[in-house]
Amino acid sequence: MFHLSPPAKKLLLILFLTIVCLFISLPQNIPFKIKTLGIKIDRTFVRPNLDLKIGRLEIKKNFDLILGLDLAGGSHLVFEADTSKIPAEKVKDAIESVRNVIEKRVNLFGVSEPVVQTSSFEGKNRIVVELPGIKDTQKAAALIGKTAQLVFAEVEGASASAKLKPTTLTGADLITARVEFDQTSGKPGVGIEFNKEGDTKFAALTEKNVGKPLAILLDGEVVSAPIVQEKIIGGKAQISGSFTTDEAKSLTIQLNAGALSLPIKLVEERTVGATLGAESVQRSVKAGLVGLAMVLLFMLLTYGGLGLVADIGLVVFAIITLALYKLIPVVLTLPGIAGFLLSVGMAVDSNILIFERFKEERGRRPVADALEISFGRAWDSIRDANIATLLTAFILANPFEWNFLNTSGPVRGFAITLALGIGISLFTGIVVSRNLLRVFVKEKKK
Amino acid sequence: MIDWMKYRLMYLIISTLVIGAGVFSLFKWGLNLGVDFKGGAIIEYRLAKSYSTEELTQGIEKTGIAVTSIQQTEGSNYIFRFPPIEQAQKEQIKQGLEKITNNSVTELRFENVGPSIGPDLVKKTIIALIISASSILLWVAYQFKNLKFGVTAIIGMFHDSLVLIGSFSLLGHFFGAEIDFLFVTALLTILSFSVHDTIVNYDRIRESQKKVGGDLKFLANKATSETMVRSLNNSFTIIFMLMALVLLGGTTVKWFAIALLVGTVSGTYSSPFVSVSLLVTWDEIEKKLKRR
């Protein structure tokens, strides 16, 4: 029979875990090219996606790293709502409705996975909109920021002293709006369709104003004022102004999503182009590899064989951490990568603490005992010391979205990677290297 | 065993000089606040080749928009700073540049922060600092159940914060380092790094207190000798990672990494030479008072 000591069994388990994590950590496509001694291999290994079906439970995972706006490219927009004209008790509902309308608009604009959140601090109400991978931020911001209040108005008096009298027929009475091209001029316009109530109002309005202009106002400005030829039933109308196709498209999105119940203003914008993001990723990977190599070398030179054990622990740390980023998933940002690199530097701390202790204890007792004692004593210090960093990470990450703390994607990314790094380094620094050392030390004894 | 505590006066002088320089700079030049706090716009463009900042300034100012500063980062990448701008002005700026560069302008990054954002960030930062500092304070107090240990650890923490803020005032004046929300993040992280080493050192003092006994000065020397190599080695590995980030990581995270670097070095220094030194001094004064 083949007998394994408990530490060896644990090591096997760790090895298994590491291999699973490595599988997840590696990029999906790995090109593999060999061209020597007449052998030519040129193929790409593709990792299959996880696609499990257990009864009704379906598990689908593609293990891709999720990159934040600063790495993948995209826009972070903050709008501030003007709540000065509504009573305080209605603000909350109004903001929520604004948020919903913005979300609809963004979805109709065709952005994948947008984030629309509200935040309020000292009476200032803001809506944060994150648009990944968007190129024309200016257009998106204009589309989101416009109130888009559509009102039909009667025109009273002669053209020189004409007065506009707004009616109750508004954008709220629409079922749908779409881009239409005028059949005679070919110019783009917006075709609208009223709901039942709107239809009744529109029919009455057109009947009353035959031969007169009927003004269509958007946010208080006249878009067009066609002369009514006859009473219109059937609930359809066309707004033809001097639109470009893009403008007509934006207007349909705004009308379909509904008007904003409060005026909003863009107060902050951060946009990162996809080129800069890709370069940042490359740079960070390079910095990470160089830093990692230096740490590995340093440990080897300073602690010899023990350093090698710490190095193995560190590589296992890096593999498990990356796998967890993909599994949780953690949205990786540039400061997030900095947090990861920082945690790599900190990960060997527990090993250093233990090894220094081990140097002292070795003179006093047998090696195996000295090892166990060093691990035991060092653990208290490591735990106590790291709790302060975890506290700070908690405040930076602001997981409960407290309004009195700042919420920023990049900073949150940093806090999460730092906290995860500390947690995993406790595991690899203690469990992995302890069991490795136990096995090695026992071998030496024999 | 090295008598670390013999040189306490020297540690005091070093800390006073470093913090003094920073405080002087703070009063003289203040902090170089970035757009996060002050409001304003940053646009990073990549141009086909290098141009002098005068040429670029002229090109933009022809459109009637004032430029705060232009900074060439690497290759032909330029960072332009403006007061807060409107969307339409951004187009004008680009057109102004396209005229002098024959249409080879690529926008890499755009940040535009209105003036209402900064004051909120200041308040939220202060709240975050108060919560962090007091929760760390509570943790240290709970850990050591002893006023002397707790207070000296926290003084070490303030020491490191002052060193970091002061050195960024100097770096801001001489090298254009800006105070942005990443700096605040670094500052908060440094608070916890600062007490990290101190806790390890104090743990050793208390362990020896139980086992060996002796006066606090002896115990502090013993603990400092025992933890010095660990403390240095651990800082080295962190410094390696941060140096790699400073040198290779690109402009966006450079100052963030530098802030963490300054904090790490100061944190390593302050544990034995500020916190532990103060602890020993406090103990000695207390004893003298009791004798009288």
Strands (E), A19-67: 29-36, 39-46, 50-54, 57-61, 66-67
Q: At what angle do helices B117-144 and B181-211 cross, to 10 degrees?
A: 10
* Structure-token match 């891709």, residue found: A64
* Structure-token match 């003084």, residue found: B155
The token pair that represents B127 in the structure block:
């709240």
How far apart are alpha carbons A192 and A237 in whole angstroms? 5
Per CATH, domain A273-445 is 1.20.1640.10:
yes
Given this model, what pLDDT does residue B243 score? Answer: 94
Contact B241 A272 (CB under 8 A): no
Question: Average pLDDT for residues A415-426, to the nearest whole number?
Answer: 90
> How many Cα atoms sit within 13 Å of B27 on the Cβ side?
5
The C-alpha of A352 sits at a distance from chain B's nearest C-alpha, in angstroms, of 6
User: Is B191 near chain A, with CB under 8 Å?
Assistant: yes
Contacts of A295 in chain B (CB under 8 A): 237, 240-241
Helix (H) or strand (E) holding A169: strand A163-170
* Structure-token match 């096995």, residue found: A439
User: Is A385 near chain B, with CB under 8 Å?
Assistant: yes
How far apart are alpha carbons B131 and A157 in whole angstroms? 65
> Which of A261-270, A378-387, B274-283 is the most confident on average?
B274-283
Give me the residues of A, 72-131, that contact B with CB < 8 A: 78, 80, 121-122, 124
Average pLDDT, chain A: 83
Q: What is the CATH number that goes with domain A74-272?
A: 3.30.1360.200
How far apart are alpha carbons B28 and A121 in whole angstroms? 33
DSSP 8-state code for residue A41: E
pLDDT interval class at B237 (50, 70, 90): very high
DSSP 8-state code for residue A44: E
Name the residue ranges covered by the structural domains of chain B.
Answer: 4-35+117-291, 40-113
The token pair that represents B193 in the structure block:
């790094």
What's the CA angle centered on A137, arms A132 and A138, to 5 degrees? 165
Given this model, what pLDDT does residue A446 score? Answer: 46
The C-alpha of A326 sits at a distance from chain B's nearest C-alpha, in angstroms, of 22
Given this model, what pLDDT does residue A287 score? Answer: 93
Question: Average pLDDT for residues A343-357, to the nearest whole number?
Answer: 86
Helix (H) or strand (E) holding A78: strand A74-81
Name which of A295, A335, A349 is nearest B185 (Cβ-Cβ). A335
Contacts of A356 in chain B (CB under 8 A): 226-227, 229-230, 233
Name which of B46, B139, B199 is nearest A381 (Cβ-Cβ). B199
Contact B234 A384 (CB under 8 A): no
Question: Average pLDDT for residues A54-78, to the nearest whole number?
Answer: 78
Beta bridge partners of A215: A153
| Predicted confidence (pLDDT) per residue in A366-409, tens digit | 888 888 888 888 887 788 778 888 888 888 888 887 878 877 77
Q: Report DSSP letters for A193-256, one per residue.
A: EE-HHHHHHHHHHHHHTTTSBEEEEETTEEEE-PBP-S---SSEEEE-SS--HHHHHHHHHHHH
How far apart are alpha carbons A336 and B55 in whole angstroms? 37
Displacement of CA A322 from its chain's centroid (Å)? 17
Given this model, what pLDDT does residue B167 score? Answer: 96
Per CATH, domain B40-113 is 3.30.70.3220:
yes
Whether residue A2 is predicted with pLDDT greater than 60 in this model: the reply is: no
* Structure-token match 């009473």, residue found: A231
pLDDT interval class at A117 (50, 70, 90): confident
pLDDT interval class at A56 (50, 70, 90): low
| Predicted confidence (pLDDT) per residue in A204-223, tens digit | 888 888 888 888 888 888 88
Q: At what angle do helices A91-109 and A245-257 cross, to 10 degrees?
A: 140
Q: Do residues A418 and A343 make contact, with C-beta atoms less than 8 angstroms apart?
A: yes
The token pair that represents A75 in the structure block:
């826009």
Question: Average pLDDT for residues A251-263, to the nearest whole number?
Answer: 84
**Residue whose C-alpha is closest to residue B183's, from B198, B195, B169, B197:** B169
Q: Taking the CB of residue B16, how many other CB atoms lie within 10 A of it? A: 11
pTM greater than 0.80 (yes/no):
yes
How far apart are alpha carbons B94 and B117 in whole angstroms? 25
Q: What is the largest CA-CA distance in chain A?
A: 110
Beta bridge partners of A79: A127, A266
| Predicted confidence (pLDDT) per residue in B28-40, tens digit | 999 999 888 888 8
How far apart are alpha carbons B197 and B43 in whole angstroms? 41
Question: Average pLDDT for residues A44-49, to the nearest whole number?
Answer: 68
- Percent over 90 (pLDDT), chain A: 8
Given this model, what pLDDT does residue A159 score? Answer: 65
Burial of B74 per CB tally in 10 Å (0-12, 13-18, 19+): exposed
Whether residue B207 is predicted with pLDDT greater than 60 in this model: the reply is: yes
Given this model, what pLDDT does residue A440 score? Answer: 77
Torsion, Cα A73 A75 A76 A80, to 10 degrees, reads 180
Contact A302 B233 (CB under 8 A): yes
pLDDT interval class at A48 (50, 70, 90): low
| Predicted confidence (pLDDT) per residue in B24-68, tens digit | 999 999 999 988 888 888 888 888 888 888 888 888 888 888 888
* Structure-token match 């002369």, residue found: A227
Name the residue ranges covered by the structural domains of chain A.
Answer: 74-272, 273-445
Give me the residues of B, 124-163, that contact A with CB < 8 A: 124-125, 127-128, 131-132, 135-136, 139-140, 143
How far apart are alpha carbons A380 and A396 in whole angstroms? 25
Q: Do residues A127 and A94 make contact, with C-beta atoms less than 8 angstroms apart?
A: no
In terms of CATH architecture, what is B4-35+117-291? Up-down Bundle (1.20)
Given this model, what pLDDT does residue A49 score? Answer: 67
**What would you report as the CA-atom Rg of chain A, rounded to the nearest whole angstrom?**
32
Q: Phi and psi (nearest 5°) for A182?
A: -60, 130
Given this model, what pLDDT does residue A242 score? Answer: 77
Number of residues that this document lists for chain B: 292
Strand order in the sheet with A163-170: A163-170, A150-156, A214-218, A221-224
Q: Taking the CB of residue A54, how many other CB atoms lie within 10 A of it? A: 7
DSSP 8-state code for residue B48: S
Q: Do residues B169 and B29 make contact, with C-beta atoms less than 8 angstroms apart?
A: yes
The token pair that represents B198 in the structure block:
């101190």
How far apart are alpha carbons A378 and A374 in whole angstroms? 6
Q: What is the largest CA-CA distance in chain B?
A: 84
Q: Do residues B197 and A398 make contact, with C-beta atoms less than 8 angstroms apart?
A: no
